[in-house]
């Protein structure tokens, strides 16, 4: 049995949604000092729906594949649904990861949740500021 599924290899060799969103509505970054993986997720959100998502990942093939699959799983979804994403769902969508690489799917989940938290913080801050036309 191969170590990695065909889906893992496909998302590693042909990652989806790679890049940066300059005017992102939410950005989340996580890293694992033990393995050296670093993930950064950028979200563009309109009417509480994720209209675009990009990632930058420095790490192993499993980390890149997990980032790629996670972005595919949340693109076009409502923010509330994206908040429910689990590392298990990412790993299952990749047809599994070796046990010692499951932390990569955890990082993908955490990066997305950090980006969504950042979005909520920016949204709350914007809502709390008085409209400049009212001053």
Residue at 135 is within a domain: no
Residue 133 pLDDT > 80, yes or no?
no
pLDDT digit string, tens, across residues 86-116: 999 999 999 999 999 999 999 999 999 999 9
Q: Name the catalytic one among 35, 38, 89, 106.
A: 35
| Domain at 111, CATH number | 3.90.1010.10
Place of tokens 């950064």: 40
- Asked about 104 being catalytic, the answer comes back as yes
Query: Per-residue DSSP letters for 56-69?
Result: EEES-HHHHHHHHH
72: phi then psi, degrees, rounded to nearest 5: -65, -35
pLDDT digits 0-9 by tens, 23-65 = 999 999 999 777 789 999 999 999 999 999 999 999 999 999 9
Structural domains counted in the chain: 1
Residue ranges in the chain assigned as alpha helix (H): 6-13, 61-74, 79-82, 87-93, 102-128
Domain that holds residue 112: 6-125
Full-prediction pTM beyond 0.85? yes
Q: What is the pLDDT of residue 32?
A: 79
The active-site residue out of 8, 27, 39, 104 is 104
CA atoms within 13 A on the CB side of 62: 22
């Amino acid at each position: 049995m191969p170590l990695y599924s065909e889906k893992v290899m496909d998302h590693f060799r042909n990652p989806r949604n790679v890049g940066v969103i300059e005017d992102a509505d939410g950005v989340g970054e996580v890293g694992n000092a033990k393995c050296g993986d670093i993930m950064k997720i950028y979200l563009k959100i309109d009417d509480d729906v994720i209209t675009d998502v990009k990632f930058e990942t420095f790490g192993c093939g499993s980390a890149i594949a997990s980032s790629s699959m996670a972005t595919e799983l949340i693109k076009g979804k409502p923010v509330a649904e994206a908040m429910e994403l689990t590392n298990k769902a990412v790993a299952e969508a990749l047809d599994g990861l070796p046990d010692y690489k499951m932390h990569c799917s955890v990082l993908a989940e955490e990066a997305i949740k950090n980006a969504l938290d950042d979005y909520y913080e920016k949204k709350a801050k914007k809502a709390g500021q008085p409209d400049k036309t009212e001053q």
